[in-house]
């Protein structure tokens, strides 16, 4: 039987714990892009993307916030519960929004990776052959 992709490293899928998983490698199923500006928007980021994970046994998805230059992004990333599932909030510089959207639009599969020990968050693809023809 082929190995399922996108599962979190939880000990028992669906088991609700008080601590977030120590390692997550989840395949991104869908994404939503939001741009906001002006005093009525009540947001500090210039853009944000929500990644919904394919397998949602313990982790639901991740918010990627893209912030203007000058914002202090150190120690802002977090993991919190929402509707009994873990949701990640990760901050990037606005300059990366185009690159992240390019990966989400043109690569498959795309993964979200989190390691609790290092507090490392990544958006990554699988290995691809050199010279792969993306456009057909």
Number of domains in the chain: 1
Tokens of 109: 């599969």
Is residue 96 domain-resident? yes
* Residue-range definition of the domain harbouring residue 42: 23-125
Write the pLDDT tens digit of every residue in 97-112.
999 999 999 999 999 9
pTM > 0.85: no
Is residue 3 domain-resident? no
Is residue 118 domain-resident? yes
Is residue 73 domain-resident? yes
Is residue 35 domain-resident? yes
Cβ-contact 58, 15 below 8 angstroms: yes
pLDDT reading at 54 higher than 50: yes
At CA 44, angle to CA 89 and CA 18, rounded to 5?
25
Least confident piece of the model among 13-17, 37-41, 60-64, 71-75: 13-17
Q: What average pLDDT does this structure show over 74-100?
A: 87
Reported as type and span, the H/E element at residue 33 is strand 23-35
Is residue 9 domain-resident? no
């Amino acid at each position: 039987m082929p190995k399922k992709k996108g599962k979190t490293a939880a000990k028992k899928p669906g088991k609700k714990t008080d601590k977030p998983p120590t390692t997550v490698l989840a395949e991104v199923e869908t994404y939503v892009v939001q741009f906001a500006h002006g005093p009525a928007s009540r947001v500090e980021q210039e853009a944000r993307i929500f990644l919904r994970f394919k397998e949602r046994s313990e982790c639901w998805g991740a918010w990627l916030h893209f912030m203007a230059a000058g914002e202090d992004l150190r120690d802002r990333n977090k993991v919190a519960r929402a509707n009994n599932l873990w949701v990640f909030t990760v901050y990037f510089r606005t300059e990366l929004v185009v690159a992240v959207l390019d990966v989400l639009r043109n690569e498959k599969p795309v993964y979200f990776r989190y390691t609790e020990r290092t507090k490392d968050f990544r958006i990554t693809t699988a290995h691809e052959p050199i010279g792969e023809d993306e456009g057909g």
